[in-house]
A = this chain, B = another copy of it.
Amino acid sequence: MSVPRRVINFSPGPAKLPEKVLQQASKEMLNYDNTGLSVMEMSHRSAEFSKIMSTAEADLRDLLNIPDNYKVLFLQGGGSGQFAAIPLNLMNLKPARVADYKITGAWSSKAAKEAEKYGKVNLVLPETKKYTGIPCKSTWNFHPEASYVYYCDNETVHGVEYDHVPETNGVPLVCDMSSNFLSRPFDIKKYGVVIAGAQKNIGCAGVTVVIIREDLLGYTLPECPIIFDYKVQVGMNSLYNTPPTYSIYIMGLVLNWIKEEGGLEAMYERSLIKARAVYDLLDSSDGFYHCLVAPNARSRMNIPLRIGGPEGVPELEKKFIEETQKCGMISLKGHRSVGGIRISLYNAVTVEETLHLVEFMKEFMAVNRK
């Protein structure tokens, strides 16, 4: 089968997938591994699908070196579903029913709002409407009775990424890694819970990875919908209800691709090359391209920027979007709450594709600078 002409996809999510994964999915669509079935048609309790699911879990455990006392779930409902599931499962860890939330952008803000339904939320960082970095430690305000500390490792909308793992002095650390999951190695043992929607770095929409330390199970609030009850889902290996089987299969193909490409070290190295190429251009553009985020919190995955100055020049930004589209580069428009441009550089976006965009940006600057 010949590969059709494909665009260069800088979408913030759902996002680009490795072509190899799509080719395999296409090839196996009517007959997976000589079963005479599509993966979509398999009972979730069949031997064939069980193998797909256990292989995906084994590959994930291998990539992250996950110890046995951490359980892995593949659930429905996305990050937004987990914004409720986390407090529903963990708010009760201590009697005060309060949780620490570090808000650094749109997604952690939404998570905190959802948590308020199930307990008290303590804001660790000073309140702000402009998310352009991570406030310094002297401003942090932890609650002494917090059940857990929550943060978002990479803010997809605002392009703010942590360059460190927050220290919590023994309080369980809960992290939304949806948009930078498996783009760099991390030590799972520093975490109580890590969640990640698949549709950025590891697959298509519909499945969310939850990794949870087993001693945190069993504190579920009575009002928790059973599909979000971590203890129930752990007991049933994510099969309390029908899981999103095809999305799990695609995720499995991507996990295999990551291993073949050299694992998380390779993903990390590649992400640094891609992100540096863009940030170097922004920083050397003499204000033509304006980076919105403080240097120590700049995301490797999502780069929001304005063209022509800190507030952006609308005609220039419109022209940029139109011309990139004509050149087969898509989904570069910034989030409506931030404006301007956003470049998303997830695992499947290649160095070559990124450099192609950077070259275009240089030419665009040369032509349009006043």
Contact = CB atoms under 8 A, between A and B. Distances in A.
Contact of A14 (B6, B36, B40, B79): B40
Contact of A6 (B23, B37, B83): B37
B29 A25 contact: yes
Contacts of A12: 43
A222 interface: yes
B15 A41 contact: yes
Contact of A76 (B84, B206, B331): B206
A249 to B, nearest CB: 10
A221 to B, nearest CB: 9
A9 interface: yes
A9 B241 contact: no
A330 B42 CA distance: 10
Contact of A22 (B13, B38, B328): B38
- Count the copies: 2
Interface residues of A, number: 70
B38 A17 contact: yes
Interface in A206-260: 206-207, 222-228, 240-247, 250
Contacts of A23: 29-30
A29 B26 contact: yes
A77 B15 CA distance: 22
A31 interface: yes
B7 A205 contact: no
A118 interface: yes
A170 interface: no
Contact of A205 (B29, B204, B242): B242
Given A14-B40, A14-B245, A80-B227, 6 more contacts: A23-B30, A25-B29, A76-B78, A78-B227, A81-B225, A83-B226
18 contacts: A4-B31, A6-B30, A6-B37, A7-B37, A9-B37, A13-B43, A14-B41, A17-B38, A22-B38, A26-B27, A76-B206, A78-B242, A79-B241, A84-B227, A204-B245, A206-B206, A225-B228, A246-B250
